[in-house]
Amino acid sequence: MIEKILPSRMAVAESLADPPEAVLLPGEEELIRNAVEIRRREFTTARWCARRAFAELGLPPAPVLKGERGAPMWPDGVVGSMTHCVGYRAAAVAHRTDVVTVGIDAEPHAPLPDGVHETIALATEVQRERELRRAVPGVHWDRLLFSAKESVYKAWFPLTHRWLGFEEADIALHPNGSFTAELLSSATERDSGAGTTATPTAFSGRWLVADGLVATAIAVENVPGTPAG
């Protein structure tokens, strides 16, 4: 499903269940030792998906450990993102020479739990949602907004190694299956000039609703002649 909203240069693997052949590699078990069973299954199958995607890139199996703020640690020269929710796990990876950063997210296509929308949505986003609900009433736009913000963070963090709050990205969702995210000054001006990779000020992404799920994805492709970073 999610491969439909990602560039063809990316390798994607997904699963609708937790197959018995999905197992952890050394180093991963320690990360999940004390987790409840449902969390263990999500964690394991998402990494199994990542290794299937590695194979599409011609890479050997490798553990996906946790780095700063729990972000996945990908093999050298690889960028990637993983997601999991009830009934769905997926991973998307690419060679860094092809893609600069990627963020994916999948959620149940259902309204957000009570109280969540108020904590993630800006006033501008709430107004846009009202208009979107009138134009396309069959989409749970609140859940789609949440998913898009998750994808934005996953694409943002590998570039900046900095936290990004829900309130620091103003997302405009479009009925045609696209969205844009403007990174607000509270994020883009923080620690400026610190010698890190140039801070992104905006992202563009795509979204999809299918099979009871909503999925969002951001992939920043390398422009020919531009250093991969």
DSSP letter (8 states) at residue 14: E
| Predicted confidence (pLDDT) at residue 191 exceeds the cutoff of 70 | no
- Domain assignment of residue 229, yes or no: no
- Map tokens 């796990």 to a residue: 89
Per-residue b or e along 176-206, where b marks 16 or more CB atoms closer than 10 Å to that residue's CB: eeebebbbbeebbeeeeeeeeeebbeebebb
CA-only gyration radius of the chain, Å: 17
Q: What angle do CA 229, 171, 53 make, to 5 degrees?
A: 45
* Mean pLDDT, the chain, whole residue set: 92
pLDDT confidence band for 225 (50 / 70 / 90)? low
| Predicted confidence (pLDDT) at residue 186 exceeds the cutoff of 80 | no
Residues with Cβ within 8 Å of 224's Cβ and at least 6 positions away in sequence, in order, are: none
**Cβ(96)–Cβ(86) below 8 Å:** no
Domain that holds residue 132: 2-221
**Cβ(177)–Cβ(144) below 8 Å:** no
pLDDT confidence band for 187 (50 / 70 / 90)? low
| Predicted confidence (pLDDT) at residue 197 exceeds the cutoff of 60 | no
- Domain assignment of residue 122, yes or no: yes
Helix (H, G, I), strand (E, B) or coil at 3: helix
pLDDT confidence band for 190 (50 / 70 / 90)? low
| Predicted confidence (pLDDT) at residue 227 exceeds the cutoff of 50 | no
- Domain assignment of residue 96, yes or no: yes
In total, how many domains does the chain have? 1
Averaged pLDDT, 79-101: 97
Cα torsion angle, 181, 184, 187, 192, sign: positive
- Domain assignment of residue 108, yes or no: yes
Helix (H, G, I), strand (E, B) or coil at 117: helix
| Predicted confidence (pLDDT) at residue 20 exceeds the cutoff of 60 | yes
pLDDT digits (tens, 9 = 90+) for 34-49: 899 999 999 999 999 9
Q: What is the CATH number of the domain that holds 82?
A: 3.90.470.20
- Domain assignment of residue 214, yes or no: yes
- Domain assignment of residue 41, yes or no: yes
- Domain assignment of residue 144, yes or no: yes
CA atoms within 13 A on the CB side of 83: 31
Helix (H, G, I), strand (E, B) or coil at 166: helix
- Domain assignment of residue 226, yes or no: no
DSSP states along 186-228: HHHTTTTTSSSSPPP-EEEEEEEEETTEEEEEEEEEPPTTS--
Averaged pLDDT, 76-88: 97
Lowest mean pLDDT, pick from 30-39, 81-90, 122-131: 30-39
